[in-house]
Amino acid sequence: MEHLKKLLGLLLAVCTVLVISPEASATRWIVGGNMGWSPNVNYTIWARDKHFYNGDWLFFVYDRNQQSVLEVNKTNYETCNTDHPLHNYTTGAGRDVAPLNVTRDYYFVSGNGFCFGGMKVHVHVENPPPPPVVSPIKAASSTLSSSGHVLVLPVAFAIGAAWDAFLHFW
């Protein structure tokens, strides 16, 4: 019975750690927010306060009959030259996704003259920040130490509460 208690306690501790652990995920950015990829949106202002990370996606929503989504180099971005795009993300559906899977600067423009009206966006993609480092808890007394291992109080309380609920169930 004692081995079963230890096994259940270990299982509960692992589950608790998994639940409280932060989850890393990519962000899908709708370019232009609720205005989408359209004329009369200042994309420099839209992108200014955002952090774009390796693994994120840009989601372009636009009028498929007029606009396009072209990735170009910096020079072509600045001059709105769409003659030789690095990549054409235009699929004809008006709902196109560009993966940001390399840490670098990306430059997107719309063709058909819309770039000259401001339909262009530059994003700087960086590596995600490292997860926060958890510093070890230093035991001030032997009451926090069990066989040389320091117990983390929130996990210990969670295990105790769950164990108590388990014992009252049976």
Q: What is the DSSP letter of 135?
A: P
Report the chain's mean pLDDT, rounded to a whole number: 79
| Of 26, 80, 77, the residue nearest 51 (C-alpha) | 26
Number of helices (H) and strands (E) in the chain: give both, helices first: 4, 10
pTM: 0.65
Does the pLDDT of residue 4 top 70, yes or no? no
What was the pLDDT predicted at 45? Answer: 96
Cα separations in angstroms, 40 against 43, 118, 168: 9, 7, 64
Residue spans of the domains in the chain: they are 2-22+141-169, 28-126
28-126: CATH superfamily: Cupredoxins -  blue copper proteins (2.60.40.420)
**Token duo for residue 125:** 């993609």
Other Cβ atoms less than 10 A from the Cβ of 91: the count is: 13
Query: What tens digit of pLDDT does each residue of 128-139 get?
Result: 988 888 877 765
For tokens 């117990």, what's the residue? 151
For tokens 């962000």, what's the residue? 27
Average pLDDT over residues 28-34: 96
Instruction: Kindly report which listed range (86-90, 158-162, 164-168) carries the lowest average pLDDT score.
Output: 164-168
